Chains A and B, each alone.
Chain A
Amino acid sequence: MKKLTALTALTLAVLSGLAHADRLDDIKKSGVLRVASFDSNPPFGFVDAKSKQIEGLDVDYAKAIADKLGVKLQLQPTNPANRVPLLVANKVDLVLANFTITPERAEQVNFSIPYFASGQQFIVKKGTLKSEADLNTWRVGVDKGTVNEGVLREKFPGAKVVAYDDTPFAFTALRNGNVQAITQDGPKLIGLLANVPDKDKYEVPPFTISNDLIGVGIPKGEARLTDVVNETLTELEADGKAQGIYDAWFGPTTKTPLTRLYKIGDKS
C-alpha cells in the first residue's frame, strides 16, 4: 500500500510537471510575465529614487522580453541567494538579476544566451598603458583573497603583484604611484572611479582578462520559453536596441562609462 502511494505521488508529480511543461502558454494565457530582479544593485536593478520603481539594465531587458510576448511585466525583487529557488519553485517565470552562467547553476535552471558580460579589468593612469603586454612588467595592485589575484598571476606571470586589504586601499596605492595599475571586475572599478574627485586622470583600458557571462534564468526544461528569450535577445542586438539599453546605463554620458566589449551573440 505504501509503495502504491509513493508510486501515485511520483506519477502525479511527473504528470503535473508535464502539465506545466509549457510555461510559454501559461504566460500568454495569464497575460503576465513574472520576472525576478535585484532591487539594490545599481545599475543592474535598483529602486529609482524618483519613480520608486525598480529600474536598471536587467529591468530594461525584462521589459523588452515582455513586450515581445505581448504581456504585462511583473517584477519580483530578489537577492542573489534566492535566484535559483525562485525558478525551481515556479514563483517566477524568468530571472534577470546579474545572473552569471555557471555549469553548477545550469544543472538546475535553463540559461538564455548571454546578454551582458562583466570581466576583470584594470584602472591605470591615463595614457600610461601602451599595450596589454606592459602589464607583465608592471606593479599591479589587487584585493587580497579574491579570484582576481589568481587570474592576474595566471595571465601576467611577470607582473609584480601587491595585494591590499580592499579596493580603496589598492586605489590609494595607485594614486600614490606605488603600483601602476589595479585590477577588479570592470563594473566595480567604474563604480569606484565614479566617486573619485580627480577621476579624469584615470582610465579603464577597454579589454578584459576574464569574462563572467550574464544570462536570463529560465525554469529547467522550458525549451520554447528559452527559444523565445534567445530570439528576443538576438533581435534586440540586431536592431540596435541592446546597444541603446547598454548606453543608458554604461554609456559615455552616464556616471559610470564603460566601453561595451561584449555583444549578444559573441563567442567568448
Chain B
Amino acid sequence: MFGELLAPRFLHWLFDGFVLTLILSLLTCLVATGLGFALCLARISPSRIWSWPARAYLALFRNTPLLVQLFFWYFGVTALLPEALVMWLNQPRSLNLVLFEIEWPSFEFLAGFWGLMLYTAAFICEEFRAGVGSVRVEQRAAGLALGFKPAQVWRYIVFPQALRTALGPLLGQYMNALKNSSLTMAIGLAELSYASRQVETETFKTFQAFGFATLLYVASIALIEVIGQLIARSKWYRQGGV
C-alpha cells in the first residue's frame, strides 16, 4: 500500500538524525530549565537591576522567530568573530575525558544548541513565573508571621506549589523544544528533519522518508507525555514532595 520500505542504509541515516535530535533536545531542556529558573528569579525580583535586564531578555527572545535567531547565531555572529576563533570552533577534535573520548560537537550543533536553548529558556522562565504567580501573596505573609525567614518562605511555601502548577506547562515547553529542534536543519545540523529530507532526495520515497520522521517525533513526544503522567500520578508528587 505504501510502496517499498526504506533500505537499511537510509533507516540508519534516519536513526542517526533521531539520536542527534534527542541529544540536542535533552541538553537544551536541561540547560534551559536552569537558565529559565534563574531568569524567573531575576524577573520577579523587586530590584530593578535584576528585573529590567530579565524583561529585556524575555521581550527579545520571545518576540522574534526562532529561525531568525538561529540564523543570527550561526551566520550573523560568526561574521563578527575573529577568523582564528571560527577556525578553532570548526576544527574536528576529540575531548579526552579520562575514561572515554567524545567527539567535539560540530559548530552547527553548538550554534543550534545555543540558539534553541536561549529561546526555550525565555518560555520556561514565563512558565515558572506563572507558577509563582499562582501562589497567593497572603501565603508569604503568613509564612513570615510564623517566623520563617524570607528564603525559607520561598523554599518551603512558594516554590513547592509553584513547581507543581508549572509542571504541565513545563512539559509542554519541552515538547516544543523537541519540535523546534527541527529548525536547526536550516543551519545545516543533520538532525531528524534534515535526515528525512536527505533520504527523500536520495530515494524519492517521499512518503516513507517523512512518514518515518513523523513517527519518531510522535513517539518521542508521547514519551514526554507518559513521563509527565507518571510524575503526576506518583505518590511523591501527590503528597506534595516537590
Interface residues of A, Cβ cutoff 8 Å to B? 139, 141, 144-145, 149-150, 160, 162-165, 169, 172-173, 175-179
Instruction: Check B108 for interface membership: any CB of A closer than 8 A.
Output: yes
Contact A149 B86 (CB under 8 A): no
Contact A162 B186 (CB under 8 A): no
Instruction: Check B101 for interface membership: any CB of A closer than 8 A.
Output: no
Closest to B108 in A: A162
Contact A177 B87 (CB under 8 A): yes
Q: Using Cβ atoms and an 8 Å threshold, which residues of chain B touch A178?
A: 74, 78, 86, 90, 107-108, 188
- For chain B, the count of residues having a C-beta within 8 Å of the partner chain is 20
Residue in A145, A160, A172 whose beta carbon sits within 8 Å of that of B92 in the complex: A160
Instruction: Check B138 for interface membership: any CB of A closer than 8 A.
Output: no
Closest to B188 in A: A162
Q: How far is the CA of A144 from the CA of B190 in the complex (A)?
A: 11
Nearest chain A CB to B83 CB, angstrom units:
6
Instruction: Check B201 for interface membership: any CB of A closer than 8 A.
Output: yes
**CB<8 Å pairs between A and B, sample of 17:** A139-B90, A141-B188, A144-B197, A149-B201, A150-B202, A163-B188, A163-B194, A164-B188, A172-B75, A176-B75, A176-B78, A176-B79, A176-B86, A178-B74, A178-B86, A178-B90, A178-B107
Q: Using Cβ atoms and an 8 Å threshold, which residues of chain A touch B194?
A: 163
Residue in A145, A149, A150, A173 whose beta carbon sits within 8 Å of that of B75 in the complex: A173
Q: Using Cβ atoms and an 8 Å threshold, which residues of chain A touch B200?
A: 145
Instruction: Check B51 for interface membership: any CB of A closer than 8 A.
Output: no
Instruction: Check B198 for interface membership: any CB of A closer than 8 A.
Output: yes
Nearest chain A CB to B91 CB, angstrom units:
9
Closest to A144 in B: B197
Contact B86 A165 (CB under 8 A): no
**Chain B's interface: helix, strand, loop or mixed, by majority?**
helix
Q: How far is the CA of A130 from the CA of B141 in the complex (A)?
A: 73
Contact B197 A165 (CB under 8 A): no
Nearest chain A CB to B172 CB, angstrom units:
29
Closest to A162 in B: B188
Q: Using Cβ atoms and an 8 Å threshold, which residues of chain B touch A163?
A: 188, 194, 198
Q: Using Cβ atoms and an 8 Å threshold, which residues of chain A touch B197?
A: 144-145
Q: Using Cβ atoms and an 8 Å threshold, which residues of chain B touch A169?
A: 75
Interface centre among B78, B83, B197 (most CB of A within 10 A): B78
Closest to B85 in A: A177
Q: How far is the CA of A176 from the CA of B77 in the complex (A)?
A: 9
Q: How far is the CA of A163 from the CA of B194 in the complex (A)?
A: 9
Residue in B79, B87, B108 whose beta carbon sits within 8 Å of that of A175 in the complex: B79
Given contact pairs A144-B201, A150-B202, a sample of 18 additional A-B residue pairs in the complex whose CB atoms are under 8 Å apart: A139-B90, A145-B197, A145-B200, A145-B201, A150-B201, A164-B188, A165-B186, A169-B75, A173-B75, A176-B75, A176-B78, A176-B79, A176-B86, A177-B83, A177-B86, A177-B90, A178-B74, A178-B107
Q: How far is the CA of A145 from the CA of B193 in the complex (A)?
A: 13
Q: How far is the CA of A165 from the CA of B185 in the complex (A)?
A: 9
Contact B86 A173 (CB under 8 A): no
Q: How far is the CA of A127 from the CA of B201 in the complex (A)?
A: 33
Nearest chain A CB to B146 CB, angstrom units:
58
Nearest chain B CB to A139 CB, angstrom units:
6
Nearest chain B CB to A184 CB, angstrom units:
15
Q: Using Cβ atoms and an 8 Å threshold, which residues of chain A touch B79?
A: 172, 175-176
Q: How far is the CA of A176 from the CA of B82 in the complex (A)?
A: 10
Closest to B82 in A: A177
Q: Using Cβ atoms and an 8 Å threshold, which residues of chain A touch B78?
A: 176-178
Interface string of B83-115 (1 = CB under 8 A from A): 100110010100000000000001110000000
Q: How far is the CA of A164 from the CA of B107 in the complex (A)?
A: 14
Q: How far is the CA of A141 from the CA of B107 in the complex (A)?
A: 13
Q: How far is the CA of A179 from the CA of B106 in the complex (A)?
A: 11
Nearest chain B CB to A175 CB, angstrom units:
7
Nearest chain B CB to A124 CB, angstrom units:
14
Q: Using Cβ atoms and an 8 Å threshold, which residues of chain A touch B86?
A: 176-178
Q: How far is the CA of A134 from the CA of B92 in the complex (A)?
A: 14
Interface centre among A149, A163, A179 (most CB of B within 10 A): A163
Closest to A150 in B: B202
